[in-house]
Structures are given as C-alpha cells and as structure tokens.
Structure 1
C-alpha cells in the first residue's frame, strides 16, 4: 500500500471515529436541553436575603442520574450533588450560580443577595403569644417574638427553673392555678411576663352505649347553671370554670351566638345570661327546667327559673 492510500485510510478512520463520538453525544446533548434548576427562598417572599437558607433544585434529576453534577455559587464555594442543595450566602451582592455536568456542560443563573430589612431597637423588645387560660394535661403552645434575638429562655412558673430554650415552646401544666410565664432572650434586660390560668381537667363525659342521654345532658347543664347562680359575686374563678365547662362540652359556637329564652318571655345570649346569673341574681335564683333545641352543639336553650322568696318580705 503506497503512502497516498495509507493517508486516505487514516482520514477515513478518523472521520468514522468523529462520527461515532457525535452520534453518542447527540442524544445526551438533546436531553440536557431540557435541564434547568430553580432557586427557592426560605421565607417565600421571592427575595434572596443575606443569611437566608436558599434551596437550589434541579427540575428533573433523572436527566443526570448517571453523571457528575457540581454546584458553583459564584463566591468560591461549591457542592457536589445530583439533587437539590441548600446554601446560605454570608455577604450581599450579585453571584453567578452554575450547575456543571461532567465538567463539560454549564447551566448558569445570576442571583442578587440583599441585606433585607434592617433591624431596629424595637425588634429587640420581646413579646409572648399564648392563650389566657388552659387545662391541666393540655399541650399549650407559647411563641416568643423578637426578630433580633437568637437565644430564648422560658420559665412557665411551675418548676422554678428554665423549662425551654426554643423560640416556640410547648408546655403541659400538672396542677391548676394562676402562673406567671417569663421569657428572657439575649437582648432583654429583664424578662417579659404573661399570666395564664390553668383549670382542672374534667373527666370526659361517657355516654352509655345506645342509650338516650338527653336527660343526663339536661341535668348536667341545669346543675352547672345552678352552681353559677349560687356563687358569690367575687368567686370569679369557679364562675369561669363552670362557663368554660359548658362551652367546651356542649357548645360548638361562640357563647354570644347561643340564644337563651328565660321563662318564655326574656331573651339573652348565653354569655350575658351567665354573667347576669352570677353577678346580678346570685344566690336568689332557682333553675327549674332546661330545654335544648338539640343535645349536641345546641344553639338555643329555654330556661325556666324563679326567684327565691325573701322571708322578711313574706312576714311583712
């Protein structure tokens, strides 16, 4: 074989190799045309902020499941991962985020990291968000608010020690009483306080199987109303216990949405009726009869009652 023929053979061989490589790479390149990634911010305000954890997510990780993927964040940091990654920028500025596949194919997006809202002295003032009352054995959620604070110290007033170090804490009281909840942070000079009243836990009402419980419910409500009527005006604690018992056990709406018909001629909402029974007619009213429009979640209650006679008046 002469030199000319050898040259032709070598050229044909090289061309065949190139065609094979192109044929192998073309489907892969075509698949990668569909590759993309998204950037999600932690607080979902569509603004990438300093010290905020960002999530970088590949739209379809199956396109690169057999390839090497490296994330470059434009500041010298990089993470090797074929799936989504989390990253937090420590300096504000514009960065070019690049996803590189097999050290050959680049997919880039520019991202702008901003300082966000500047904190003020008011942001160091702590607040407590929690209910005003609860029950023994109930999980009660306490939430602290102070955007500039990092450390939290909760004292719920029952143990005499620090009970939690979380921004949002859950606590279960074991005894009834009025407790002073204290919250300190790394920014407060003195703790902030909030009072919460804890009531005894009532045993759940157990209905006999397949038995009409209307009489039991009516007698129970009548009993509770009579307790309210018999209380002294200063006994607000027992008053609250009885009202909350009736509300939690039998009423599904607000107390002010339940209609009370007294002796078939007077009308009140349930809360106003109980307040009047306690503060105005206390120790002078006898609850004679109670009727409900429905046993469960009643919206109207008809009450027949009378006023106790004064013996001194009768003698005169």
Structure 2
C-alpha cells in the first residue's frame, strides 16, 4: 500500500512539474494581448498621405524585446524589424497593416492613405455651422467653413431670395416653421444645405433651458473624450465604450465624416482623432487635457471644436 501511495505521489508531482514547464515555455497570450501599435504621420496634419513617412510605434517595447516581429503593410510589402519602423506608401488606398509576433500573435489595423488632391478636396468641402433648432425672432449665427471660398450666397428659406453674402452671418426668422438653409459658394456646383426648425417665441426662462441643453451635450462629449485620453493603450474596451457612446448618441452620419478641429488649427475625422487620443497614453511624460468642447448641432453633430492642452506628468 505504501508503494502505491509513493507511486501516486510521484506521478502527481511529475504532472505538476510538466504543467509548470509548459506554462513557462509557452508564450503568454494574455501578456501579448496588451500589445498594440499606432501610426504617426510625420507632418502632423492628421492625414495619412502618399509619399509621407509614417512611423509605426509599439505601445510596449519591453514586452516584445527579443521577439521576432513581422510587419505586413497590406500592399505586398513585408518588414522584419523590432524598432524604428518607418514606411511610405506610394499609392492611395485602404490597407490592412498586420503585426505578427513570433508567429503566435497578431495585431491588425486598417489605414486609409490619401493623395494630396484628396486631402485638399476633403478640406475644401463647404460646411454650414449653425444650430438645427432656434426660436422666432432669435438672432442665429451661421458660419461657412471650407478652403478656397471667396464668395458666399446664403438663402434662409423665408424670404425666397438671397439674404446675405458674408462668410459668417446673423439671421433671425420672423415666423416659426421648418426651413432649409442653402449656401452657394465659388467652390461648389450645387448649394450645400442645412435644415433648421424655428419654434414659436417663448419666455426667456424657456430659452435658457435650450442653452443649458447645448452646454450639457458639450460637457458630456468632453467627459467621454477625456476618458479616451486617460485610458491606457491596453484598455481597448474603455476606448470602444466611449467612442461608441459619442457616435451612437450624437452623430447622424458616419464617424469618419464628422470633422474634429483641434485648437482652431488642426483638422481630423472623429475616428482618427480618438485613436490619437487613445495612443497618447504611451507617452509617459505628458497627457492630454480636454479643456473645452463646442459642437455645431445639438441633434446632429457634424463638427466638434476641441480645445486641448498637454499636462506634464
């Protein structure tokens, strides 16, 4: 009986030892699951362009030390290197970049590379910035944004004629109703349009409620953008939770069509901007502070104006 117990103990001991060795020898997938990479455009204009040098940066270089990294660029090119990865695309298109780690784990990311003329075209599309709801007799501000414009013809749908000729105009409606604001510029063949609802005149207390609602939406978006900026690169679920919240609650179009203007000078689409916020966590010396957020439309956000700064850690 004692011999059987001894043999049983030895068998269990060998099995436990084999399990420990297996764990030590196999790559840690849970550890690799935190690996991600992001793509930096060297001219800092938030566009990935043809013939621009792009830098591919891994969020945790220590974790991939001594591992074999293979970069597949989505156009047939393959790079085998660990650090200082730079690449330039010569043709526009959408590419799937794949990072393979020791043939055991891979990370994928789509990238859209545009030509210089595409970038100009994207930035030149006229956009009307203005509220989608106002009050009878209220002074409403409308602003036209777009490159290359030097003439503007505004029709606010009430008078039946051209009402203004400036880039930024103030207009008040005499009667409540549904109206279509039309803007014709020298850069477009057909007018761009904006729908607005004019409500009957209310007391000032009611108007204050509307103003507060706009502030609440802007503060809500600001809160979720800050959460994206604060999330670690490994916290993908946090990133998607907050981006999807903003997208589903406030957008009426695809997220890559919503423009984000940063500090009144840099332009990006919503997806690209949020991705940049998320990966800035990898910078251990500073983080982004979302100081203020303004939107063009409380019910259908098309443009987000972000004021942000860097805080040294």
Normalising by structure 1, we get a TM-score of 0.31
Larger radius of gyration: 1
